């Protein structure tokens, strides 16, 4: 969250800095599951003093599209 202090340059600089420190991860589960199933997941890092913000679960979608030979 960036508070409105009438300084858009500072707000956008803060947003850009946060985006430079983000990663996007993906994976293919061994068991895809059925549409509507809730799957649990956990993201862990080996490096101390990092903050991980990640969902703890997801719901299997409807599209059923398989990619990369999966």
Other CB atoms closer than 10 Å to residue 11's CB: what's the count? 14
2 within domain boundaries = no
For residues 43 and 27, the answer to whether their CB atoms sit within 8 Å is no
Domain-embedded: residue 41: yes
DSSP state of 3: -
Q: Is the pLDDT of residue 62 over 70?
A: no
In a domain, residue 34? The reply is: yes
Q: What is the pTM of this model?
A: 0.54
For residues 34 and 32, give the distance between their C-alpha atoms in angstroms, rounded to a whole number.
Answer: 7
Q: Taking residues 45-66, report their average pLDDT.
A: 82
Within a domain: 32: yes
Residue 35 lies in a domain: yes
């Amino acid at each position: 969250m960036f508070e409105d202090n009438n300084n858009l340059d500072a707000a956008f600089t803060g947003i850009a800095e946060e985006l430079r420190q983000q990663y996007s991860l993906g994976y293919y589960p061994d068991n895809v599951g059925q549409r509507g199933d809730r799957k649990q997941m956990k993201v862990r890092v080996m490096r101390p003093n990092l903050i991980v913000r990640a969902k703890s679960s997801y719901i299997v979608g409807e599209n059923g599209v398989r990619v990369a030979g999966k």
